[in-house]
Structure formats: C-alpha cells, structure tokens
Copies of this chain bind each other. A is one copy, B any other.
Amino acid sequence: MSILVVGSVAIDAVKTPFGKRDEALGGSATFFSMAASFFNKVNIVATVGEDFPKKYLNLFRAKNIGTSGLHVARGKTFRWKGWYDYDLNTAHTVYTHLNVFKDFKPVVPHDLRKTKFVFLANIDPELQYSVLKQIKTPRLVACDSMNYWIEHKRKEFEKLLDKVDILLLNDAEARQLTGESNLVNSARLIVSMGPKAVIIKKGEHGVIYFSKKSHFIAPAYLLESIYDPTGAGDTFAGGLMGYLSRAKKIDEASIRKAIIYGSILASFAVEDFSVNRLLEISMADINSRYRHFRRITKF
C-alpha cells in the first residue's frame, strides 16, 4: 500500500565541522520519501518554485517517488541555511526563506485520496489538518511537529492530535508540549491528549515509544562518522512508515521493528550531506545493518 507525505521540499545550505554544501536537496518530505521509497511507492504533496533544479526532480523519479502532488509555483523554492558545531544535536539556523511555501495550500491529487499510510511532516498544523481531511479512510496517520507550532498554534495542533495514530517529537518538544521534564511522564501525558502512541526521538541517544498499553526503548545505532544530521528525524519517519506499510499487521511487534528500521535509515542519512547516502545504499545494506543492530543490542 502506497504512502503519502505532505511536507517541505527545500534547497539547503548546510555547514558542519566536516564540510559544507550549498544548493543541496533538503526538506522534510524529501528525506521522508527517500527513506520510505525503499519499502513502497511514496507520493509527495509539497510545493517548489520555478528555480527548483530539474536534476532533483529526476532524483525523485529515479526512486519511483510520485510527484503529481508536487506543485511548481511562481517564485522561489523554500530555502534553509544552517550550521552545526561538534554538538551535532543542535542545528543553528542562519535563515529560513519560506518563499513559495508561504502560500502553500496542499492539494492531494484525486487518485491519491484513498492512500492508507499518511505522514504529516512538520508544517503548520492547519495545513496538516487540511491534508487529513482530503484523505478518505487512512489506516495509519503519523505526524511530526516543532517548537514553533507548539508555541504559536497550540489549539490547532491539539485539534489535530485526535486524528493522529503516532505522534513523533524530539525530547525538547515533548517537554515543551507537556511542561513535564521527565520523559516517561511526558510521554504518558501526550498519549492522553489524543494520539494512540508517541515516539520521542532523542537523536544519538535513541528513541522512546509509548502507547496506552506498552512502551519500548531503543538506543540509536552507533556511528563512527556523522557528517550532517539534517533530515535525520524525517528519514527515521520514512523508515518507520515504509516498514509499516509493508507489514502484515500493525501491532506492537511490527511497530518495534519499524522503529528500528527508522533508526537504521536515519543512521545512513547522517553519514553524508543531504540525501546523498540514501542514494548510494540498497535494501541489502539496510537489512545488513538491521541484523547488526540486533546482534549488538541482544542480551
């Protein structure tokens, strides 16, 4: 069953202690779809400007990622510039130029409105809601957000939470949303706010999954070299949703495996700038790292 993602397709300028890239392909929908495409057909709902390079469109096509919902608007593509120092957990933004994203009104193409797996990447919760309303009977809805929306559009965000199966947040956002510093208590509060489950992403320290019935904790895959953490969270979500879209059943066991696949995809993504590493690897590489992860965590 195919997957639909609404989010950003962007052009990034990134600097880390290990190098820099300008005019790099970025955006939440980009990282998500590249990761999920290892498992299933993915369709993007997003907008870019007339300046969006053709070579990047071709990259999506090469990965069999559907772009019928990628609207080319008059103006410039969403651009983000940022840098990281040796603490790769913290992104420092130089600028965010929304450009064509400012007037983005996501429209889901008619033939995609029966999509069963939906990922609402980090955009205005009103837009996330409007996308959900266009989808007929989704089987699984996952949703990401960020500090800005939690602060400035809290009501809209809370209204959305009722419709969400899995909410993904990082640890700081979970604490911000609940006002609770302990992550166990924070996760419990979140699942009482509407979503069936929450995944709290702790970057290099792994993830915590909490549903009403159970929880799961996993360390992150250990890496020798991290070049650029941009997009790690969306890549994680792509691996997660990709795996679940192929699973026979969506239950505790498949969600746990999906979380590990998400971590594995993210571990590849950060080994190079932009989506470069995701373009190099194969499903065999992913499965091999998954098996290695099992070996180094088993007791």
Contact = CB atoms under 8 A, between A and B. Distances in A.
A42 interface: no
Contact of A299 (B185, B224, B256): B256
- A interface, how many residues as a size bin? 20 to 34
A219 B222 contact: no
Given A205-B202, A256-B298, A218 B215 contact: no
A217 interface: yes
Contacts of A223: 182, 184
Interface string A231-259: 00000000000000000000001001101
Nearest to A215: B296
B299 A259 contact: yes
Contacts of A257: 299
B217 A299 contact: no
B216 A222 contact: no
A181 interface: yes
A133 to B, nearest CB: 34
A86 B181 CA distance: 8
Contacts of A226: 182
B299 A260 contact: yes
Contact of A224 (B184, B208, B224, B256): B184
Contacts of A260: 299
Contacts of A86: 181
Contacts of A297: 216-218, 297
Most B Cβ at <10 Å: residue of A86, A205, A216, A299: A299
The 7 nearest A-B residue pairs measured at CB: A256-B299, A205-B205, A217-B219, A184-B224, A219-B219, A184-B222, A260-B299
Interface of A: 86, 181-185, 202, 205-206, 208, 214-219, 222-226, 253, 256-257, 259-260, 294, 296-299
25 contacts: A182-B223, A182-B225, A182-B226, A183-B222, A184-B222, A184-B224, A185-B224, A202-B205, A205-B206, A205-B219, A206-B206, A206-B219, A214-B296, A215-B222, A215-B296, A216-B296, A216-B297, A217-B222, A217-B296, A218-B219, A219-B219, A256-B298, A256-B299, A257-B299, A259-B299
Given A256-B298, A257-B299, A260-B299, 16 more contacts: A182-B223, A182-B224, A182-B226, A184-B222, A185-B224, A205-B206, A208-B222, A214-B296, A215-B222, A215-B296, A216-B299, A217-B297, A218-B219, A218-B299, A294-B299, A297-B297
